[in-house]
Amino acid sequence: MTLLNPPSSDILVTVKNMTKTFNTGKGLHKRQVHALRNVSFELKKGRALALVGESGSGKSTVARLLTRMHLHNSGEVLYRGQDINEFNTHRELAQYRKNIQMIFQDPYGSLNPAHTIYHHLARPLFTHGHVKTKIQAIEKVNDLLRLVELDPEATASKYPHQLSGGQRQRVSIARTVAIGAEIILADEPTSMLDVSIRLDILKLLNKMKNEQDMTFLYITHDIATARYFAEDIAIMYQGQIVEWGNTSSVIDNPQHPYTQLLLSAVPNPHISFTEAAIEGSELLEQANTIREKSMAPIVETVEYNSQHFYAQHD
């Protein structure tokens, strides 16, 4: 797969033909699940790539492989030109993971209920040697909390249960900054939050991207937030990236049938259901055929414009 590659951009991560197969079941029920098939993309400094797809399409597996929670079966993942499978010593791996961090979907599950917010932020600062003394740590934690727009005085001594969902997600974000990550893999960071808070979190991530040049892989099923936050988008279906490129181009001129199906089903408040039913009925009738066709291995990629590509199947 060729990738869009503006010459000025600085490529941090290159994923080439990454494949991951999980073995499940035992004995007669043994079978293989092809979670990822020949996935390729690049993460560029200061930009966000949105990975969009339905549940089970393999989006989260991508994040797990990038952090090396799992190992990929074949293909290459390069971080600044180095193969991540070659990070074998504890130190190399720790160094790599320091640079690439995750924010999870559930802010209620990703913080330890028995520790204060100060502890959550100070611990990575100490373990990664960013601070030496407690006084330094307190100061740095306060800076971090201010960065994510939380009141340092009031928040640092609190426990996770005393914070709202949005505040907890802000703490998770502060934690990735504390470690000193330059790449953040955000796996549905807003889907468990209330509608009115979602945009605030996205604005915060946007600020980090623009002001601190942070790089994001934004995993979501929400097309609208992907458009709001990410410059590039990749549409995944059944472990393959079927269409990718500039976000506005892909959303406004979808070429792959699955992307078209997906976008036709995104709720649009300006089109009533009766109208949408007529408009989208043809696509929906073909939904199963489209799904079946999109399952087939990709044989060719087509360039729609220099910033927008889509796949063709058998």
Partner 1 sequence: MTTSQSLSQATEQPTLVIKNLCVDYLLDESEFRAVDNVSFNINKGEIFGLAGESGCGKSTIAFAISQLLRPPAYISGGEILLNGDNTLTMDKKTIAKTRWSKVSMVFQSAMNSLNPVLTIEEQFRDMFYRHKGYDETESAKRAGQLLELVGINPNRLKDYPHQFSGGMRQRIVIAIGLALNPDLLIMDEPTTALDVVVQREILLQIHALRKEFGFSVLFITHDLSLMTQLCDRIGVMLKGELVEVGKAKDILHRPQHPYTQKLWQSIPAAFEQNIAEQRATNTREVFA
Binding site for partner 1 (CB under 8 A): 54-55, 194-200, 202, 221, 223-225, 227-228, 248, 251-252, 261-274, 276-277, 280-281, 284, 287
Both tokens assigned to 236: 């995944």
User: Of the two residues 106 and 200, which places its CB atom closer to partner 1 in the complex?
Assistant: 200
Reported as type and span, the H/E element at residue 158 is: none
Both tokens assigned to 235: 């549409």
Among 9, 45, 59, which residue's Cα sits nearest to residue 186?
A: 59
Whole-number Å distance between alpha carbons of 274 and 278: 7
- Whole-number minimum distance, CB 271 to partner 1, in Å? 7
Report the DSSP beta bridge partners of residue 185: 102, 217
- Whole-number minimum distance, CB 248 to partner 1, in Å? 8
Whole-number Å distance between alpha carbons of 241 and 312: 11
User: Of the two residues 97 and 221, which places its CB atom closer to partner 1 in the complex?
Assistant: 221
- Whole-number minimum distance, CB 185 to partner 1, in Å? 21
Among 178, 217, 205, 232, which residue's Cα sits nearest to residue 79?
A: 217
C-alpha angle 134-104-41 in degrees, rounded to nearest 5? 115
3-state secondary structure of 180: coil
User: Of the two residues 11 and 284, which places its CB atom closer to partner 1 in the complex?
Assistant: 284
User: Of the two residues 95 and 109, which places its CB atom closer to partner 1 in the complex?
Assistant: 109
User: Of the two residues 76 and 200, which places its CB atom closer to partner 1 in the complex?
Assistant: 200
- Whole-number minimum distance, CB 195 to partner 1, in Å? 5
- Whole-number minimum distance, CB 165 to partner 1, in Å? 9
